[in-house]
Structure 1
Amino acid sequence: MLPIKRLLLTTLILGLPLPALAATESIVLGMGCFWGAEKRLSEIPGVLDVESGYAGGDAPRVGYRDVLDLEKRIQRGKSDARNHAEVVKVTFDPAQVSLERVLIGFWENHDPTQGDRQGNDVGSNYRSAIYWETEAQRQVAFATRDTYQAALTTAGYGPITTEIAPLRHYNRAEDYHQDYLTKNPDGYCGLVSTQVAYPGQPAKPVAERLVASALNRERQLIVFEAEDCRFCEQFRAEVLDDWSSPVPVVSTLKAQPPAGWRLEKTLFATPTMVLFEDGREVSRYTGYKGDKDRFWAWLGFQILTPEQQRIAFEQGTERAFTGSHLDEKRPGVFVDPITGAPLFRSDTKFDSRTGWPSFFNPLPGALTYHEDRSRGMRRTEVRSASSGIHLGHVFDDGPPPTGKRYCINGNVLSFVPDGH
């Protein structure tokens, strides 16, 4: 997609006739947050430029802060002024793409039945809107609305709430809002489409709502994702793809939990990881930017006992001969209690007679090592590489072949027997 100025410069450099640029058309559309609208509509072949802006309000001149401040006053009942909507001005070449096709992209890429909101963004400034400049545009806007309404009704959606009105008081948005998701690929986009195809267009893959009977009602982690969500992809690659935690996990593109389950509040970003117990939200972790340790710590505080938390997150130590697994001798693997990642095999465990489970060798890459000068001593602390939790210390008084003694708090180990 070439912005108009760049297209003009390219035309001059190539010596193309300027009249070829005159046959362009523009229409102003509101789809909620203009960052996502700009990205989605710029991908339509034949669209030459998509500019973020504000339109449809009473004030002739506004900026981003003006729109936000007025919306706050409206919500508090302190103003009855008509606010501007976040919009995009779509400029296209009618020789390459029709207005109808542009509006099909508009209808399919957001939910036009939500009133003064779009996805997780709430307020009249996020309303769905088509602001036309010619009678021909008005006719196409209403015709495509009626066609898409029939498809939505068949799919079980309510009436379209899109405002279709003459364009007034259009203001270009600030420079930092232009091409926002191109400049900030990790930025938030709150657009959630209905996934209903416009009649005559290829059917869209539909994300099915999770079925409660297929989940663990006692304790279940649900990851709410979105299309075109770079952080969702990062979380999947860094956490979900190797998931072995004892907490069952499932992902969904739907913003709703299974029927009969309850979210405590609306989702506002993706990915959002919500922990449910007995079908009710008990905690959530919103957003992800490569902060694995923070995510695992959040989950750990939900599933570990207070004593386990004290050891794992406060470098605590259980009293000698009181921890778990001291006498565990079955073939198997000791794992991180949060991530389920393997730490030690039982055939490396030995009786150190110290009162703590002891091992002479960890599994490759299972631990990280840290200098510890607490309590007037100089020791080497060991933590789980997968979750970062404190496990214990390593000393140089162990048996052959390593000569090491990994002195570990049994209460922050889980044991998985071979064959399970």
Structure 2
Amino acid sequence: MKAAIAMAAALSIIITAYAMEKTVTSAQKTDLKTDFIVLGMGCFWGAEKRMGEVTGVIDVESGYAGGDLPGAGYQDILNHERALRIGKTNARNHAEVVKVTFDPAKVTLETVLGKFWESHNPTQGDRQGNDIGSNYRSGIYYHDAAQKTTALATQAAYQGALDAAGIGRITTEILPLKNYITAEEYHQNYLRKNPDGYCGLGGTGVKYPKPAERVAQNGTPATTAGVSSARLDGGNLNFAQQLIAFEAENCEFCKLFDKDILSHWQSEVPVVATMNANPPVGWELEKPLFAAPTIVLFKNGKEVTRYTGYNGEKANFWKWLGFQLLSPEQRKIAFQQGTEPPFTATNLDEKRPGKFVDPITGATLFLSNAKFESGTGWPSFFDPIEGAVTEHEDKTHGMRRVEVRSASSGIHLGHVFNDGPAPTFKRYCINGNVLKFIPDKE
């Protein structure tokens, strides 16, 4: 697709006249205040724009690298890719790349590579979106051993995040920089010159674990106030079902998780935080930890799933946990705005003193003294606990209604109507299957 868009511009320019080969080595880094890395992310138009957004990046240049074609230009690379497809050559083609020059005093290479991983899909092999061919492969091309080490470490960290999200294996090649060529002038700053131009770049939606989130891979204990560094004893935990938040020293995202989630914990699932990267004694992790915080759900002493990294996305965390706790019928209501058949909720006729709580977070939503018989077939309430629910406009099914969600987890509960009893004259019509009833203690 991109090749077709660029053809008109290519026909008006003698490709090789504008293409200048550069053999870039560490010896060329005469300015010690800057460094560079060469990255393949598919179409270099979009890659140039994305990498240029990173604070501390000084310049982003479109180019070609990683192939066996010295002096090649854009049209040469397209022609070579066609020859590869029909078996007329075995020579390795160049990838479209961007050379990212940055100031190490303002941004680390890991941060630059974090943007790289987030800004494209590194699991697609020889393609990126609609652009297909080895010239659109994902790649990191380093110029010294330190860059190689960092590249491999970030690949491992991002693979851990992809694993947690259920996404496939990374196909990105990590190789020494070879045969770098600056692309033709009309490719430089392409999207700045053509704001409506084709980008063809889309990420997986999975965030790269921030540098401050690192957990020691060797399990070395860390210490911080309030959380023990000692290895947990599995005998002191709930063997049948237990959540463990693996945290790290000086981890701002761990502190945020503690503030947003752990400090308000009311869920029926027991949870404990630890600064030790090892599983409890006698228990098993499926794979090593890559980032902190990592929240692992254990059942019968074995990991069944994990949530890696946290950056304030409370709804995402509760949805992850909800998929482990709720039945398929409950998940359809909670996450797909489904509705249970009327007169089917087990708590429809519940009249005992008590409270109705969120089935994931355990937060109280309604008290039984606010429940009334509406005759609709769904549990109905005239007043929720203050701050327990949120209301949202709903235009689905050709109607205008007000949707009700749990404020703590964000799950769909039902709708509210203006035909209830005094004193509020509201009717909160709620799906009973996403309410857990807890009777008052006698």
TM bin, normalised by shorter chain, reads: 0.5 to 0.7
Residues 332-371 of structure 1 mapped to structure 2, 5 A cutoff: 332-371=354-393
Taking the aligned partners of 2:339 and 2:303, their CA distance within structure 1 comes to: 32
Q: Which moved more, 1:371-380 or 1:385-394?
A: 371-380
Name the aligned partner's letter for residue 230 of structure 1: E
How many Å apart are 1:189 and its aligned residue? 5.0
Residues 299-378 of structure 1 mapped to structure 2, 5 A cutoff: 299-378=321-400
Name the aligned partner's letter for residue 248 of structure 2: A
Please tell me whether the aligned partners of residues 276 and 283 of structure 1 are also in contact (alpha carbons under 8 angstroms).
yes
Classify the secondary structure of the residue corresponding to 1:369. strand
Q: 1:375 to 1:214 in 2, by over 3 A?
A: same
Taking the aligned partners of 1:418 and 1:209, their CA distance within structure 2 comes to: 37
Taking the aligned partners of 2:398 and 2:379, their CA distance within structure 1 comes to: 24
4+ long deviations beyond 2 Å: 50-54, 83-87, 185-197
Classify the secondary structure of the residue corresponding to 2:212. coil
Please tell me whether the aligned partners of residues 269 and 287 of structure 1 are also in contact (alpha carbons under 8 angstroms).
yes
How many Å apart are 1:265 and its aligned residue? 1.1
Does 2:263 align with 1:241?
Answer: yes
Please tell me whether the aligned partners of residues 211 and 258 of structure 1 are also in contact (alpha carbons under 8 angstroms).
yes
Please tell me whether the aligned partners of residues 232 and 288 of structure 1 are also in contact (alpha carbons under 8 angstroms).
yes
Taking the aligned partners of 1:362 and 1:304, their CA distance within structure 2 comes to: 22
Unaligned runs of 5+ in 2: 1-31, 33-104, 114-143, 159-208
Does 2:248 align with 1:187?
Answer: no
Does 2:425 align with 1:403?
Answer: yes
The aligned residue for residue 273 of structure 1 is 295
Classify the secondary structure of the residue corresponding to 1:282. strand
Please tell me whether the aligned partners of residues 52 and 86 of structure 1 are also in contact (alpha carbons under 8 angstroms).
no
Name the aligned partner's letter for residue 400 of structure 1: A
Taking the aligned partners of 1:215 and 1:312, their CA distance within structure 2 comes to: 29
Please tell me whether the aligned partners of residues 53 and 86 of structure 1 are also in contact (alpha carbons under 8 angstroms).
no
Classify the secondary structure of the residue corresponding to 1:222. strand
Residues 18-37 of structure 1 mapped to structure 2, 5 A cutoff: none
Name the aligned partner's letter for residue 398 of structure 1: G
Name the aligned partner's letter for residue 285 of structure 1: Y
The aligned residue for residue 219 of structure 1 is 241
The aligned residue for residue 145 of structure 2 is 84
Name the aligned partner's letter for residue 232 of structure 2: L
Per-residue CA distance 1:128-185 (angstroms, 9 max, x = gap)? xxxxxxxxxxxxxxxxxxxxxxxxxxxxxxxxxxxxxxxxxxxxxxxxxxxxxxxxx9
Name the aligned partner's letter for residue 279 of structure 1: G
Classify the secondary structure of the residue corresponding to 2:231. coil
Aligned residues: 253
What is the TM-score when the length of structure 2 is the normalising length? 0.52
Name the aligned partner's letter for residue 360 of structure 1: F
Please tell me whether the aligned partners of residues 230 and 276 of structure 2 are also in contact (alpha carbons under 8 angstroms).
yes
Taking the aligned partners of 1:399 and 1:414, their CA distance within structure 2 comes to: 23
Taking the aligned partners of 1:196 and 1:326, their CA distance within structure 2 comes to: 50
Taking the aligned partners of 1:228 and 1:257, their CA distance within structure 2 comes to: 21
How many Å apart are 1:186 and its aligned residue? 5.4
Taking the aligned partners of 2:326 and 2:360, their CA distance within structure 1 comes to: 8
Residues 126-145 of structure 1 mapped to structure 2, 5 A cutoff: none
Classify the secondary structure of the residue corresponding to 1:188. helix
The aligned residue for residue 384 of structure 1 is 406
What is the TM-score when the length of structure 1 is the normalising length? 0.55
Does 2:318 align with 1:257?
Answer: no
Name the aligned partner's letter for residue 300 of structure 1: G
Tell me which structure has the larger Cα radius of gyration: 1
Unaligned runs of 5+ in 1: 6-49, 55-62, 65-82, 88-115, 123-184, 198-204
Q: 1:347 to 1:85 in 2, by over 3 A?
A: same
Does 2:400 align with 1:412?
Answer: no
Please tell me whether the aligned partners of residues 257 and 310 of structure 2 are also in contact (alpha carbons under 8 angstroms).
yes
Classify the secondary structure of the residue corresponding to 2:342. coil
Taking the aligned partners of 2:228 and 2:382, their CA distance within structure 1 comes to: 52
- What is the percentage of aligned positions where both structures have the same residue? 58
Taking the aligned partners of 1:187 and 1:273, their CA distance within structure 2 comes to: 18
Q: 1:188 to 1:351 in 2, by over 3 A?
A: same
Please tell me whether the aligned partners of residues 195 and 206 of structure 1 are also in contact (alpha carbons under 8 angstroms).
no
Taking the aligned partners of 2:108 and 2:339, their CA distance within structure 1 comes to: 58
Per-residue CA distance 1:172-216 (angstroms, 9 max, x = gap)? xxxxxxxxxxxxx9533536384599xxxxxxx971111111111
Taking the aligned partners of 1:306 and 1:252, their CA distance within structure 2 comes to: 32
Please tell me whether the aligned partners of residues 301 and 309 of structure 1 are also in contact (alpha carbons under 8 angstroms).
yes
How many Å apart are 1:282 and its aligned residue? 1.0
The aligned residue for residue 288 of structure 1 is 310
Q: 1:84 to 1:334 in 2, by over 3 A?
A: same
How many Å apart are 1:299 and its aligned residue? 0.4
Please tell me whether the aligned partners of residues 229 and 270 of structure 1 are also in contact (alpha carbons under 8 angstroms).
yes
